[in-house]
Structure 1
């Protein structure tokens, strides 16, 4: 099974991004590719990663400014804005207002579901990835988890690693 997990670099007032540390703390495993993207509204970086690695599963990680639990995002919204004062714009014109994720990691007591990933780069990456998977009719499953900026990266890595074990077991049963 090929799994692509990505996070982001620093942005706005955050000089560091917890997702980078979570990726570093995840143990190496066969078929796992970890990428840290710059915080930019560029389609190409997300599409190139999927086309190059052809993953069975893509999991995006984003940093959230508040909260105490991991948030499993359940949908991406076709809206983005670079500044809070700016009116939201469509990510893709004439497309669905929202796209549901196709992978919802079971994070137990460490996480909760969320229906709004914001309108910044995390949501942008979600929408771009889900649109690509749908448009190209890929069998790739996609999910996204927001991690509070002050969350313990090693704890998050343990929770996500346990989720990957579950995905792999499910994949073996499906064969």
Structure 2
């Protein structure tokens, strides 16, 4: 049985909920023949990867999928790359606001997801869920945790695949945000299920265009 560790962040930036964690906690413990391990991690630069590394060591998963909120995006976005920089627009939940700081001094400039990101997008679109490959995970804690995850896997030569997904706001978050895109929570949960099953199904990604013109 495949074991996948899935994380979602706690709320931040004055939000009362985070759709990432709201969706993750609704996932079943077992999805067909996949064991799903669900954990909330802090929206804090240093604490987030300390918690994640401990979870990886304790649970020995086959894959790690981290989920975060991207308010303003309208679709389910599978991240391609994380960059070795923290450049925070706002403080994290511990009040820490790094600017132009490398995540790991001995790390590469960028690290790519090792998940079948294009197959995931294809499967989601096939199920009428808007999804795309994203080429920027930002420079806040989402990019930070994705980079830290891939760095840890590579540094310790772990036989683990890893990556990150950004999800939009959910309906409850946009009451006072006119014209802000959102996605139903039930759709995000279904999209995560499809993504997890795709990770199991595809050991190698498909070769299709996922690029943008801008």
Q: Work out the CA distance in 2 between the residues paired with 1:97 and 1:22.
A: 31
Shift in CA distance, 49/86, structure 1 to aligned 2, threshold 3 Å: closer
Unaligned runs of 5+ in 1: none
SS state of the match for residue 108, structure 2?
coil
SS state of the match for residue 2, structure 1?
strand
Cα distance per residue 1:55-96 (max 9 Å; x no partner): 111111000110210111000000113445963210001321
The equivalent residue for 1:78 is: 84
**Among 100, 114, 121, the residue aligned to 1:88:** 100
The equivalent residue for 1:120 is: 140
Q: Work out the CA distance in 1 between the residues paired with 2:82 and 2:199.
A: 22
Superposition deviation, residue 170 in structure 1? 4.3
Q: Work out the CA distance in 1 between the residues paired with 2:82 and 2:201.
A: 27
Structure (1 or 2) with the larger CA radius of gyration = 2
SS state of the match for residue 67, structure 1?
coil
The equivalent residue for 2:57 is: 51
SS state of the match for residue 126, structure 1?
helix
Q: Work out the CA distance in 2 between the residues paired with 1:113 and 1:166.
A: 15
**CA RMSD after TM alignment:** 1.8
Relative to the length of structure 2, the TM-score reads: 0.74
Contact 1:7 1:36 in 2 (8 A): yes
Contact 2:8 2:41 in 1 (8 A): yes
Superposition deviation, residue 115 in structure 1? 0.9
Relative to the length of structure 1, the TM-score reads: 0.90
Q: How many residues align?
A: 171
The equivalent residue for 2:179 is: none
Cα distance per residue 1:8-55 (max 9 Å; x no partner): 011113221001110122122052100111111123111101111111
The equivalent residue for 1:19 is: 20
Unaligned runs of 5+ in 2: 91-96, 171-182, 204-214
SS state of the match for residue 25, structure 2?
helix
SS state of the match for residue 25, structure 1?
coil
Q: Work out the CA distance in 2 between the residues paired with 1:164 and 1:137.
A: 23
Q: Work out the CA distance in 1 between the residues paired with 2:107 and 2:61.
A: 24
Q: Work out the CA distance in 2 between the residues paired with 1:138 and 1:128.
A: 13
**1:168 is the counterpart of 2:200:** yes
